């Protein structure tokens, strides 16, 4: 099946002007990513799961359909119905896909949860969502059961490993259930997935998405993976499927297009192991967060690696990293931008546009994106403002769960306000500056940290960098940078001075850090973004 939305690969402006969204009234992610293929090519491999011990198991679309049908029947027997929330506390693997598909076939809502969440984070999300059923593994079962007395809505817990009543054994329930299922005929606007924001300010918010948000991701996948799919394509990401990046920037789109997907979740990202996996399984398409790319740049690239395309987002990529992708990997690293609420709306695509280092590229076909000021006016080229996405948009969220006031703040005057600051030039290229609360105000200048960080990270001795503002009685704030050095590099006054001079000469004297501090490890969110707020108090 040819499911591409972009029919002709040409220049970016033509692809944008010719693009038309499909707008089905009825749509279901499980049907699109599993059952549709199972009905036509049931023996086609959908997923290759690589376990921690190195063992490998292939799952066909037909096998995924039968097992998820059985699981849906098991869930239904336990009272799960349309609109109920089903939590998934699992690492990458077939059990995650089966739970997603079973839940969506019942018209219920999947609630992905990160296995590294602590008890407070889990308790808040499970209570706030009112999750009715949860699926987890042996490693996380006790953590979940300890919370259960305070979660009256959580009626059932399934475990993929050994289980004793009242916990239900995931695989035993699948084996015992009927394979005959008539899925709920969902509307494209019906809720399908709820992903909580990482909570950079205030409590995390449940971002509720409709089934049609899968369609909203597709133009970016097709473009930033260089006219995806191509014969021989195979996808993998180290990003956890509990986050929108891992789930929707790679996993579900691969299944939608019939591209084999590899699952292998590392407890701690190992660049050498990642390269071995890519070589052994002939993986050609990757979503790699910037942190992973920076670590992989320090490792040796095996000769058997044959990568065709890489998408990366979450933190801006510098010119040095892009050049390493071209020279060492022989593949374009295309930058992508989006949020949990409205993902994959900007892209920088080497096969379809001029690449301008430091820029996130242009608005993806199908999405209208602007830079607006506080009054909602379009900013002049080069003027800093807030990235905003025109509503409605298929990739846009339905609401913040139970928070109508927050939803109204996010969606105002026909635009989704991202809270991210950027500039847009006369040619339509967006350059990220910072989150609104990451802006450094120094001597009357509003300084975004991104250019500073990219410049510092381009130094041979620097693996990662972050820039923040610290209070100053004269300038309001001064720029302070934190750097993680490569193994073997030693901190010295000379290196500090060289880094300051590098920013002064390559970016601008007014943004050059006045203080630089080496740290052993950068504080990161679970999705791989630098937590600059943690550094402000250092």
Q: Give the bridge partners for 17, in sequence order.
A: none
Q: Where are the beta strands (DSSP E) in 251-307?
A: 261-263, 285-287
Rounded CA separation 209/231 (Å): 31
Kindly report the backbone phi and psi dihedral angles of residue 195, in degrees, each rounded to the nearest multiple of 5, phi listed first. Answer: -120, 130
Rg (CA), the chain: 23
**Token pair in block for residue 198:** 């990482």
Q: What angle do the packed helices 450-457 and 493-506 form, to 10 degrees?
A: 130
498 located within any domain: yes
Note down pLDDT in tens along the chain; length 538 residues: 789 999 999 899 999 999 999 999 999 999 999 999 999 999 999 999 999 888 999 999 999 999 999 999 999 999 999 999 999 999 999 999 999 999 999 999 999 998 888 888 899 999 999 999 999 999 999 999 999 999 999 999 999 999 999 999 999 999 999 999 999 999 999 999 999 985 444 578 999 999 999 999 999 999 999 999 999 999 999 999 999 999 999 999 999 999 999 999 887 889 999 999 999 999 999 999 888 898 899 899 999 999 999 999 877 777 888 899 999 999 999 999 999 999 999 999 999 999 998 899 999 999 999 999 999 999 999 999 999 999 999 999 999 999 999 999 999 999 999 999 999 999 999 998 876 667 686 765 657 787 789 889 999 999 999 999 998 876 778 999 999 999 999 999 999 999 999 988 877 777 899 999 999 999 987 767 788 888 987 6
Q: Are 332 and 226 in contact (CB under 8 A)?
A: yes
102 located within any domain: no
What is the pLDDT, as a whole number, of residue 199? 46
DSSP code for 318:
P
492 located within any domain: yes
Residue appearing with tokens 């410049």: 455
**Token pair in block for residue 429:** 């290229």
CA distances to 209, 234, 288, 446, 457 from 454, in Å: 33, 30, 17, 17, 5
Question: Comparing C-alpha atoms, which of 269, 256, 270 is closest to residue 217?
Answer: 256
CATH number of the structural domain spanning residue 475: 3.30.300.30
Which residues have C-beta within 8 Å of that of residue 52, sequence separation ≥ 6?
A: none
Question: Comparing C-alpha atoms, which of 216, 243, 310 is closest to residue 96?
Answer: 243
What is the pLDDT, as a whole number, of residue 450? 76
Q: Are 275 and 302 in contact (CB under 8 A)?
A: yes
**Domain assignment of residue 465, given as a range:** 439-536
503 located within any domain: yes
408 located within any domain: no
**Token pair in block for residue 412:** 């105002």
Q: Are 214 and 29 in contact (CB under 8 A)?
A: yes
Rounded CA separation 508/314 (Å): 24
**Token pair in block for residue 269:** 């990202």
The domain tally of the chain equals 1
Q: Are 403 and 410 in contact (CB under 8 A)?
A: no
213 located within any domain: no
Rounded CA separation 467/434 (Å): 11
What is the pLDDT, as a whole number, of residue 200? 41
For the chain, counts of helices (H) and of strands (E)? 18, 27
Q: Where are the beta strands (DSSP E) in 254-319?
A: 261-263, 285-287, 309-312
Rounded CA separation 448/433 (Å): 5
What is the pLDDT, as a whole number, of residue 22? 97
Question: E strand or H helix at 234, and its extent?
Answer: none
Rounded CA separation 69/79 (Å): 16
Torsion of CA 521, 465, 344, 32, to 10 degrees: -30
Q: Are 2 and 230 in contact (CB under 8 A)?
A: no
Rounded CA separation 522/289 (Å): 14
Q: Where are the beta strands (DSSP E) in 344-461?
A: 346-347, 362-363, 369-372, 385-390, 399-400, 411-412, 415-424, 430-435, 440-442, 445-447
Instruction: Kindly tell me the burial class for residue 102, based on how many C-beta atoms sit within 10 Å of its own C-beta (0-12, 13-18, 19 or more).
Output: buried
Beta strands 399-400 and 206-210 are antiparallel
Asked if the peptide bond before residue 51 counts as cis, ω within 30 degrees of 0, the response is no
The three-state secondary structure class of 490 is coil
Q: Give the bridge partners for 483, in sequence order.
A: 465, 518
353 located within any domain: no
What is the pLDDT, as a whole number, of residue 524? 85
Q: Are 263 and 47 in contact (CB under 8 A)?
A: yes
Residue appearing with tokens 């990161």: 524
486 located within any domain: yes
Residue appearing with tokens 């002049």: 380
């Amino acid at each position: 099946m040819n499911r591409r939305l972009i029919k002709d690969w040409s220049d970016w402006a033509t692809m944008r002007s010719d693009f038309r969204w499909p707008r089905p009234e009825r749509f279901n992610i499980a049907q699109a990513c599993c059952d549709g293929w199972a009905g036509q090519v049931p023996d086609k491999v959908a997923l290759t799961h690589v376990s921690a011990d190195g063992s490998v198991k292939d799952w066909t679309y037909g096998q995924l359909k039968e097992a998820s049908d059985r699981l849906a029947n098991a869930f239904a027997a336990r009272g799960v119905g349309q609109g109920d929330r089903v939590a998934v506390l699992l690492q990458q693997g077939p059990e995650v896909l089966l739970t997603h598909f079973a839940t969506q076939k019942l018209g219920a809502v999947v609630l992905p949860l990160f296995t590294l969440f602590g008890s407070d984070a889990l308790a808040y999300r499970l209570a706030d969502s009112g999750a009715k059923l949860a699926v987890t593994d042996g490693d996380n079962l006790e953590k979940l059961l300890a919370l259960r007395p305070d979660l009256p809505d959580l009626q059932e817990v399934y475990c993929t490993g050994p289980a004793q009543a009242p916990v239900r054994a995931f695989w035993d329930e699948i084996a015992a259930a009927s394979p005959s299922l008539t899925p709920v005929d969902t509307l494209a606007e019906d809720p399908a997935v709820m992903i909580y924001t990482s909570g950079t300010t205030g409590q995390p918010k449940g971002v509720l998405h409709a089934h049609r948000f899968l369609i909203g991701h597709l133009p970016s996948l097709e473009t930033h993976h260089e006219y995806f799919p191509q014969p021989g394509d195979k996808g993998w990401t180290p990003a956890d499927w509990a986050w929108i990046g891992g789930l929707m920037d790679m996993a579900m789109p691969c299944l939608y297009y019939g591209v084999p997907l590899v699952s292998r979740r590392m407890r701690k990202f190992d660049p050498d192991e990642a390269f071995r996996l890519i070589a052994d399984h002939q993986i050609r398409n990757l979503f790699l967060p910037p942190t992973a790319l920076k670590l992989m740049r320090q490792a040796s690239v095996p000769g058997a690696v044959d990568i065709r395309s890489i998408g990366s987002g979450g933190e801006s990529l510098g010119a040095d990293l892009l050049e390493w992708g071209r020279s060492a990997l022989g593949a374009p690293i295309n930058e992508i931008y989006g949020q949990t609420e409205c993902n994959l709306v900007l892209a920088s695509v080497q096969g379809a546009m001029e690449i301008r280092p430091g820029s996130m590229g242009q608005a993806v076909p199908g999405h209208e994106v602007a830079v607006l000021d506080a009054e909602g006016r379009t900013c002049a080229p080069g003027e800093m403002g807030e990235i905003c996405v025109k509503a409605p948009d298929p990739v846009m969220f339905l609401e913040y769960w139970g928070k109508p006031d927050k939803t109204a703040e996010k969606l105002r005057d026909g635009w989704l306000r991202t809270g991210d600051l950027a500039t847009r030039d006369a040619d339509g290229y967006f350059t990220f500056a910072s989150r609104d609360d990451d802006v450094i105000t120094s001597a009357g200048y509003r300084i975004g940290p991104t250019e500073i960080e990219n410049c510092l990270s381009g130094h041979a001795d620097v693996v990662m960098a972050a820039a923040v503002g610290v209070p100053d009685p004269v300038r309001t704030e001064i720029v302070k940078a934190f750097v993680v050095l490569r193994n073997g590099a030693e901190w010295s006054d000379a290196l500090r001075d060289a880094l300051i001079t590098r920013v002064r000469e390559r970016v601008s004297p007014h943004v050059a850090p006045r203080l630089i501090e080496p740290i052993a490890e950068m504080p990161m969110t679970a999705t791989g973004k630098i937590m600059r707020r943690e550094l402000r108090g250092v």
